Structure 1
Amino acid sequence: MRALVINCTLKPSPQPSNTEALARQVVTALQGHGATVDIVRAVDLDIRPGVENDMGGGDEWPSVREKLSSADIVVVASPTWVGRPSSVAQRVLERMDAMIGETDDENRPVAYNRVAGVVVTGNEDGAHHVISEICGALGDIGYTVPGQAWTYWHLGPGPGPDYLDDDRGHDWAASTARAMASNLFHTARALTEHPVPAPPS
């Protein structure tokens, strides 16, 4: 089982990423189930705006698209900014939009029989909104989003400290991350054993 985490922080490497720190809780749990996990920090790549698999001119999205092609599990991890997913997350989802029109050898949308989940961090309110926006987009693309396939860390309304700077709420976020990983892994395994057929024509 292969998993891909796309970290949509606004912070380029090597800056510490709160979003990646929480996402690594999910990574560790997935690895505990036997999954192989890759992490991509999207902001480090030259991902051009657009809705095609390759926008040309040095566009680095094709390398991410290749990883998506081999991943049974995809996790989109985003901070919350002004109550919404990051601009990087929006660009990633827009580029994934190209997958909607692609089918496999059995005429199924390429995201069918793959699962997806969400990780969110932020020192303001809005986690559930970000989760619903990203889950909705992933469902449109064709991914199966299991129940409770998310974790988040927020301290509530208003500005405050970051995930890496405050220990409050970490136990809950980690517990939810473990549940998320279990739900993703076992749903992906079930779909591997009993795949969804192509839609009726």
Structure 2
Amino acid sequence: MKALVLNCTLKPSPLPSNTEALATEVVHALEKLGAKTKMIRVADYDVKTGSKSDMGEGDGWPAILKELLAADILIMATPTWMGTLSSIAMRVMERINGLYPVKDEEGRPVTYNKVAGFVVTGEEDGARHVVTEIAGGLMDVGFTIAPQSYTYWNNGPGPGKAYLDSDFRKDWSKQTGKLVAANVVAVAKALKKTPIPA
């Protein structure tokens, strides 16, 4: 079982990432369940604007796409900006959309039998909206969405501290992250046993 976490923070490495901190909780839970997990910080790659799988010389997306296609589970992790997903998460979604016409050896979309989960952080609300936006897009191209497959953290109404600087309700976010891992792994195992047919 392979899981890929795409951290869509706007911050390149080695800057600290609140989204990565919460996503790491999900990674630990996935690994305890036997999933081999890799996290990629998308800001470290030059992912070109576009909707094709390869936008030409210098495009960082093909390397990420290779990992995505090898994974059984995709965890999309993004901060909330102005009430919606980050621009990097949106770019990832646009590039994933380029998989629409791509089929596997049995004629199914290559994203069939892959399961998606979600991690959202922010100093503002909007997490459920972000999950809805990403889940809808991923379902559209063939991903399966497990029940209770997201965890999030926000500071509550108004300005405040970031995830790494706060203790506000983090236990809930971490516990829910364990549930995310359990549910995406359970659905991924079920799909391995009984794949969606062509």
1:51-90 to 2 correspondences below 5 Å: 51-90=51-90
Q: Give distance in 2, aligned partners of 1:158 and 1:87.
A: 22
Between the two proteins, the alignment pairs up a number of residues equal to: 198
Look up the match of 2:136: 136
- Letter of the 1:82 partner, please give it: M
Q: Give distance in 2, aligned partners of 1:166 and 1:158.
A: 14
Q: Give distance in 1, aligned partners of 2:13 and 2:157.
A: 28
Higher strand share: 2
1:168 matched to 2:150:
no
Unaligned 5+ segments in structure 2 are: none
- Letter of the 2:154 partner, please give it: H
- Letter of the 1:145 partner, please give it: I
1:1-201 to 2 correspondences below 5 Å: 1-198=1-198
| Dislocated runs of 4+, deviation >2 Å | none
- Letter of the 2:27 partner, please give it: V
Q: Give distance in 2, aligned partners of 1:147 and 1:186.
A: 10
Q: Give distance in 1, aligned partners of 2:78 and 2:111.
A: 20
- Letter of the 1:10 partner, please give it: L
**Secondary structure class of the residue paired with 2:37:** strand
CA shift digits 1:106-146 (9 cap, x unpaired): 01111100100110000101111011111111111110001
User: RMSD between aligned alpha carbons?
Assistant: 0.6
Shift of 1:155: 2.1
Identity among equivalent pairs (%): 53
CA shift digits 1:120-177 (9 cap, x unpaired): 0001011110111111111111100011100000122222100000011111001100
Q: TM-score, normalised by structure 1?
A: 0.97
- Letter of the 2:109 partner, please give it: P
- Letter of the 2:112 partner, please give it: Y
